[in-house]
Structure 1
């Protein structure tokens, strides 16, 4: 209990401090950075229960899902070719950067490709555990530092981009449509356990997004709009978990590996910027900010939080990230895993 209380107090205080000095995404980045640093350079004992991370993801999923209107869902069909273009471009470059990482860090092909794939930390680690030539530790480091770099760099870049009404969420009042909301909760629970049963990742955030978006598309009404304090609490839950999950970074990292990871991710962010610029030139009705956050190789939860604060189109960005998540998990990652397994078998013979 004592480590948990200490962690909670530090997370809340660091979020409040970051907000007081005007930092972007204070309630996410504050707990993440402060707990990361204290966890690495002090002997303090911290503890953050898993259920709070899950609660934060569920709250975020509800907020993201409530941003989907009937019109936004119908427009997804129009955006489908652009989703495919963006996803294929990012995945293709990730694989090329994996080859570059292999040369820079002198790691195996399997390690380099699975570590470079922007499919999420837990998912890529699980896949790498099934590939003999993959170094699970390095894959974990690559995916962990991608989260850290993207969550650090991308939100600060959005400060210089024009959103619709940045900070609009601060003035939102709590609204609630109880009948359809509780019906969506029931459907969401069924979808959640269905996803868990088949081992589908990110069920905590995907289930509420899908049910909220589906119910609002059917009914045409907004089921819930959460106040700022509740979204800030969700960000604290997620930020504290991100800061503490990067354990023993100093012991595992070396200069060569660190340089390769930084180069890999910075090039991917630069490429995402180029892709966003191309899409904006093709579709002038959209903001560059929307496509930049859609292309960014960060997690869907982190990019959605950034979109909420920056005044971007949360529904559009979430749609792009959902498409990329499904494509990477169902198509790209299995293909890469099969290829490297065959190469491993040939080299063994």
Structure 2
């Protein structure tokens, strides 16, 4: 109750002063500071984080109409270009981090590639030469930096007005709604069974996209308070993820992580600019949030608040997530294991 009270109070405070994404950034910053600089015992139940991700997944999935799903096929070349360039630069930055922080090759590469905190940690645990603690810190700090920096810049970028966004006519219907619930439970069970990453947010997205595409109906209209609740649940979890970082990190490693992430974010901006020039029918904000090396959930929340194309941005992040988890990260782990065996 204590942690929840602090989380909601900080969200309300950020909301009152007019901060961007107050219900996400308020709990995240306040709980991070309390966790790092006070002796207050704070705990956030996993069920609340899961609930927040499910609610967010439903909100994101509702943006996937039949037209949006069809457009994804036309965007595949751009998704591939953005993903390949960002992953290639991540690997180069991993080599730079290795020299700056004097860490192992496995630690540097797995910590630099933007494939998700929990997923990269699991892969790092399977590589003997990888320092799991450092990989965890690199991934956590990158997400924290992106979630802090990207929304700040998004405020100054031109998004779409409410009249420009696709307007869905909401008319509740029991049959598609029940079909979505049962399909979602089945998709979630299957994802957990095969160990698929981020099932809590991906299962609702896939389910909503599938049912809305097949039926042509807009299934649910989430009220603002429910979206804000999901943001509080996710923001509080992010704030408490960074446990006692000051005790685990030295100055040299801290500088290396900051340089690594600033360069990656800067390169993402460059890629977004090139695509926006190449494809003038899109807006820069869409590509900026699509290229940002942060979590899909956090970037989708930013897109919702900034007037960006949520379905497009989610599609880009899904493509990158699948490529990294199914191809790039396993290949990196395999190569590093072979190098370790030789040495």
Structure 1 residues 137 and 192, CA gap change in structure 2 (3 angstroms)? same
Query: Which residue does the alignment assign to 2:342?
Result: 346
Query: Which residue does the alignment assign to 2:38?
Result: 42
Q: Deviations over 1:77-98 (max 9, x none)?
A: 1000000000001100000000
Contact 1:15–1:30 under 8 Å retained in 2: yes
Query: Which residue does the alignment assign to 2:212?
Result: 216
Query: Which residue does the alignment assign to 2:95?
Result: 99
Query: Which residue does the alignment assign to 2:67?
Result: 71
1:1-349 mapped onto 2 (5 Å cutoff): 5-165=1-161, 176-347=172-343
Structure 1 residues 217 and 345, CA gap change in structure 2 (3 angstroms)? same
Q: Deviations over 1:300-340 (max 9, x none)?
A: 00000000000000000000000000000000000000000
Runs of 4+ in structure 1 deviating by more than 6 angstroms, as ranges, are 166-169, 172-175
Say which SS state the counterpart of residue 224 (structure 1) adopts. coil
Q: CA RMSD in A?
A: 1.7
Structure 1 residues 255 and 177, CA gap change in structure 2 (3 angstroms)? farther
Contact 1:167–1:310 under 8 Å retained in 2: no
Structure 1 residues 132 and 186, CA gap change in structure 2 (3 angstroms)? same
Contact 1:32–1:241 under 8 Å retained in 2: yes
Deviation at 1:158, TM superposition (A): 0.3
CA distance in 1, matches of 2:14, 2:134: 31
Structure 1 residues 218 and 173, CA gap change in structure 2 (3 angstroms)? closer
Structure 1 residues 136 and 167, CA gap change in structure 2 (3 angstroms)? farther
Contact 2:52–2:231 under 8 Å retained in 1: yes
Q: Give the TM-score normalised by structure 2.
A: 0.97
CA distance in 2, matches of 1:344, 1:30: 43
Q: Give the TM-score normalised by structure 1.
A: 0.95
CA distance in 2, matches of 1:317, 1:132: 35
Q: Deviations over 1:214-255 (max 9, x none)?
A: 111111111011011000000000011111111111111111
Deviation at 1:45, TM superposition (A): 1.1
CA distance in 2, matches of 1:225, 1:102: 47
Contact 1:166–1:310 under 8 Å retained in 2: no
Structure 1 residues 193 and 101, CA gap change in structure 2 (3 angstroms)? same
CA distance in 2, matches of 1:165, 1:175: 23
Contact 2:170–2:219 under 8 Å retained in 1: no
Deviation at 1:179, TM superposition (A): 2.1
Contact 1:173–1:226 under 8 Å retained in 2: no
Structure 1 residues 173 and 55, CA gap change in structure 2 (3 angstroms)? farther
CA distance in 2, matches of 1:274, 1:177: 44
**Is there any run of 5+ residues in structure 1 with no aligned partner, and where?**
none
Q: Deviations over 1:115-170 (max 9, x none)?
A: 0010000000000000000000000000000011000000001011000027999x
Contact 1:158–1:310 under 8 Å retained in 2: yes
Q: Deviations over 1:170-213 (max 9, x none)?
A: xx998643321221111111111111111111000000000001
**Is there any run of 5+ residues in structure 2 with no aligned partner, and where?**
none
